[in-house]
Structure 1
Amino acid sequence: MRINHAILIRALPADRLEDFVNDWLEQRYKDYSSHELWRGTGDMGRDVTGYVTEMRMEGPWDNFQCKQLNKNLSESAAFIELGKIFMHSADGAFALPRAYFFVAPVGVARAVQQYIAHPERFRQAFLDRWNADIAGRLVDKQTISLSPAIEAKIKAFDFNQIHWLDSTRLANDAACKPVLVKWFDEDPGPSPRGVVPTEIQANESAYIGQLLQLYSEKGPGNYPDAAAALASVQFGTHLRDQRTRFFDSMAFDRFYRDSTPEEYLNTFKDEIYHGVVEIHGDEHANGFAKLSQVMKQAAVLQPSGVLGKHAGPQVKQGTCHQFANEGRLPWHQ
């Protein structure tokens, strides 16, 4: 039965929701150069911030305000939370964010949804209601009236960039998939098979060059290029098999690099390396015999975790060709 991740996100304690969102921003490296978790007293209305540039809060930044509640985020709570940003920005604590996200796993009240859908109506409501509904609720035992500085911030902010995310929207975001794997043991599923191009590609030239040297040493004949080896009765099928393994391993890497935390793929490769390095270092009759023994060993390895579950023999063998490419476990020296 498929896990309902939205329900699991709604069950997280408030501080763990912030950690979850922080991990989610870690995966959004195409959107943010870095991110930061603010916790407890003095967060100034910020829970998790995503920085667009290395200037961090002195450049464009997005605010993610986490509200783990047992009911929808209310209209009054939404005004107060966003009001904190205007107040602290007017005080000079930071520039206005580029965008503001309410992360409310249970959802937001209909009135909040309506305001977010009507940005200019939302802006006007802040101006109209500040002194009556917001001013006395921002700081304990203080009234923060609508000053010219706060009014200027409200007028300057792009209300089109206010958004809300419930647990379903969050779980369905593509960048959230590795976080679901990490937090809830979600199975990302099997990777697609690799596609072997007809022409030799730059990213396979190193290991293929090493294989050609092994073929020439084993003989008969010399194999100055891949075309010669592919045309030979002796090594044509062998080279095609190695290319299949290599491109299957590359497809495997791409898929799990996007769908699992970074350390999962690193651990998988480390386990393959340590599973074959002794065989690679043994004495062999020749380089081709070394290659054959390493391939046999790689095929029967059982790496741990979900990646090990989905790694077929050809992926593990192709990973060894990646090591040869990198000079980590060369086939020929």
Structure 2
Amino acid sequence: MITNYAARIRALDDDALERFVTDWAKRRTRDYVETQRWSGTGDMGRDVVGYVTRQRHEGEWDNFQCKQLSSRLSEKAAFVELGKIFMHSAAGEYRLPRGYTFVAPKGVVRNVQNFVAHPERFRQAFLDRWNELVAPELVENQVVTLTPGIRDAIERFAFDSVYWLDAAGLAEDEYAIPALVKWFGYDPGAAPPGVTPDLPQDEEAPYIEQLIGLYGERRNTTFADYDSALADPEWGQHLREQRTRYFEAAAFDRYYRDSTPPDYLVAFKDDLYHGVVDTHRDRHSDGLARVLRVLAQASQVSPAGVLGRYAKVPVKQGTCHQFANEGRLPWRK
């Protein structure tokens, strides 16, 4: 995976790299409530931003500076790009970022690696070499002196939050998998099997209650509770099988929610829904007959795409129970 996809990341142009990194950052939902891509004139040193809070730039945020270069990111380029952050922060445009990552598919030169590895040495180098490396490069035809505000920003910034990522590091990051699927057709593989708890869970209550009611209608009786339905010699095993199918679908959802773009799972469920909805609407001798016919029809539906390829029969049938839970296709009308 790393070798093949790292090479393809290195082949992206500047715009595509920023969009790829945006897709990657969007998957870091444990880190960010929102991501934003800044590009072109006036980006103020920001390419892709991850906001930690709804306060966006008034709260904590991380910056991902994308540099698709013909060779490794140079020492001067690293100083200038980070220098933009200090200049604009000192000017009141935004607070200093919590973290700063150079995304350089071809890597960074050894001196940059050494500075990143020695945060306080990096800080001192900024103070010592501002006039030499940074001041003439920030604004065209101007020299940006090391003002007290910029000096303060450099002294306050957490240099231990500076990182770099090359194409291999980006490709092997777990959050990059959905972007690899979207951009390069990476195969996320099959979802792990579901695990059915011994006792019914709150999330199952709607479809289980509907099924138990339909078992009673077929028998012309009323099952007192889940245990009494489970003990029934005719329908108890059927109920066990439906729970297995439901948790197969739940495991499928969790896996592909993390390993593919969000619209993939939505498209899979839409395909399945349209494959069974007419059967659900049809006339049936009773509600349980509807359930059995819809589940049989679900087993025959072949949703498109990579998720359809890996959706086994129990997953498709369990997804129908999810539809019943949501009220989208209720078992008991």
Deviates more, 1:202-211 or 1:139-148: 139-148
Secondary structure, in 3 states, of the residue corresponding to 2:68? coil
Q: How does 1:72-221 map to 2 (within 5 A)?
A: 72-219=72-219, 221=221
Match of 1:314 in 2: 314
**What is the CA–CA distance in structure 2 between the aligned matches of 1:113 and 1:276, rounded to whole Å?**
56
Match of 2:235 in 1: 235
**What is the CA–CA distance in structure 2 between the aligned matches of 1:218 and 1:109, rounded to whole Å?**
74
1:113 aligned partner, one-letter code: Q
Secondary structure, in 3 states, of the residue corresponding to 2:199? coil
Shift of 1:2: 8.6
Cα shift readout 1:234-267 (whole Å, capped 9, x = no counterpart): 1121111111111100111111111111111111
1:196 aligned partner, one-letter code: T
Match of 2:37 in 1: 37
Deviates more, 1:280-289 or 1:113-122: 280-289
Match of 2:48 in 1: 48
Matched-pair contact (CA < 8 Å) for 2:2–2:168: no
Aligned CA-pair RMSD: 1.4
**What is the CA–CA distance in structure 2 between the aligned matches of 1:3 and 1:16, rounded to whole Å?**
19
2:41 aligned partner, one-letter code: T
**What is the CA–CA distance in structure 2 between the aligned matches of 1:48 and 1:32, rounded to whole Å?**
12
Match of 1:257 in 2: 257
Cα shift readout 1:195-231 (whole Å, capped 9, x = no counterpart): 1111111111111111111111111653222211221
2:33 aligned partner, one-letter code: S
The count of aligned residue pairs is 333
**What is the CA–CA distance in structure 2 between the aligned matches of 1:331 and 1:96, rounded to whole Å?**
54
1:172 aligned partner, one-letter code: E
1:309 aligned partner, one-letter code: R
* Residues 1:65 and 2:58 are matched in the alignment: no
Shift of 1:115: 0.3
Provide the TM-score with structure 1 as the length reference: 0.97
Cα shift readout 1:73-124 (whole Å, capped 9, x = no counterpart): 1111111111111112222222211111100011110100000000000011
Cα shift readout 1:46-88 (whole Å, capped 9, x = no counterpart): 1111111111111111111100012111111111111111112
Match of 1:8 in 2: 8
Deviates more, 1:109-118 or 1:162-171: 162-171
**What is the CA–CA distance in structure 1 between the aligned matches of 2:150 and 2:274, rounded to whole Å?**
60
**What is the CA–CA distance in structure 2 between the aligned matches of 1:155 and 1:193, rounded to whole Å?**
52
Secondary structure, in 3 states, of the residue corresponding to 1:102? strand
Q: How does 1:278-317 map to 2 (within 5 A)?
A: 278-317=278-317
Matched-pair contact (CA < 8 Å) for 1:245–1:314: yes
Matched-pair contact (CA < 8 Å) for 1:212–1:224: no
2:53 aligned partner, one-letter code: T
2:6 aligned partner, one-letter code: A
Secondary structure, in 3 states, of the residue corresponding to 2:106? coil
User: Any gaps of 5 or more consecutive residues in structure 2?
Assistant: none
Shift of 1:129: 0.8
Shift of 1:168: 1.3
Matched-pair contact (CA < 8 Å) for 2:2–2:171: no
1:212 aligned partner, one-letter code: I
Cα shift readout 1:162-194 (whole Å, capped 9, x = no counterpart): 111111111111111111111111111111111
